[in-house]
Amino acid sequence: GSRVAGVVIEDRGGRPVITAHAVESFPEGALVPALATLNVRERAVVSGALGRVLDRLGRPARVGLVLADPVAKVSLVRLQQVPEKAADLDQIIRWQVRKSAPFSIDDAQVAFVPGARAADGQDFIVTLARRDVIAEYEALCDGFGAQAGVVDLSTFNVINAVSAGGSVPGGDWLLVNVAPGWESIAIMRGSDLIFFRSHGADGEGTLADVVHQTAMYYEDRLGGAGFGRVLLCGASDSGDAAGLRRALAERLSTVVEPIDASRAAGFADRIGATPELLDALTPLVGLLLRSREAA
């Protein structure tokens, strides 16, 4: 919640290459990612940082937006029968998530994609956010003539970056995505999300505790046979990335690897590709590469 980052990716000889990037920090509290309240507290400060990033990217007319995970609520919904009509499916999904929404479903922007198939039905990954909160972010971009085409969450796009880098394991794997003020944990079965949890800084327990609880749940309730890989993104902001990796490795009794976005997209200029920069750009790379595949 205390920085804006941007990246431009171009095709060079059939390979995606990062040709421009920028990261701008702003004072804590100017933007507070949250589900049930408006996020932008100091518009001029946030807008100034965004403007400087867009200037360094050549003032694009169209952008994809990656938002902090606490901006939305992620649920996994299993339907035993999936209706054929898109409108009916939308209605059923909204009905399923409305009880757990901390605001009226009428004020919500709801998006969903199919997840894993199960013996007793089809999973859907449902993302729910307040429409006026998403509009805040879109309006910031509009102020610079940049239209936000795709809006998505950080952790989903870290997963996309891993996928684009060709390193998705066939079995189960765990992703931990950390940022100032929040952290999220995703369990993947191949390319399917089977568990998601986001944890605010004011939540109980350390990240290592939450990861340990998640691993226990995975074994007890998700038929877990062990993680083929454990990946960590965002730790360089914590001030002790190595210590955090060690703490997680001890809890999980396995190696914890950092994610390297340069496996998915090369750098036109490799100089300065610090761990901090790679962590900041990873979800952005994931969004752009996913959008290119969909185009």
| Residue 271 pLDDT level (bands cut at 50, 70, 90) | low
Q: Does 168 or 15 have the greater pLDDT score? A: 15
Share of the chain above pLDDT 70, in %: 96
Tokens of 80: 């035993």
Distance CA 262, CA 270 (A): 9
**Dihedral class, residue 58 (left if φ above 0, else alpha if ψ from -120 to 50, else beta):** left
Residue pair 280/23 in contact (Cβ under 8 Å)? The answer is yes
Could you list the beta-strand ranges (E) of 157-255: 172-179, 182-189, 192-200, 229-233
Dist. CA 137–CA 93, nearest whole Å: 25
CA pair distance 44, 170, nearest whole angstrom: 46
Per-residue pLDDT at 72: 97
Residue 294: pLDDT over 50: no
> Cα separation of 116 and 194, whole Å?
7
Phi, then psi, of 10 in degrees rounded to 5: -125, 155
CA distances from 243 to 238, 240, 249, 272 (A): 9, 5, 10, 23
The DSSP string of 105-151 is GGGEEEEEEEEEEETTEEEEEEEEEEHHHHHHHHHHHHTTT-EEEEE
Q: Taking 70 as the threshold, does the pLDDT of residue 36 lie above it?
A: yes
Q: What is the mean pLDDT of the chain?
A: 93
Q: Tens digit of pLDDT for each residue in 123-174?
A: 999 999 999 999 999 999 999 999 999 999 999 999 999 999 887 878 999 9
Coil, helix or strand at residue 34:
coil
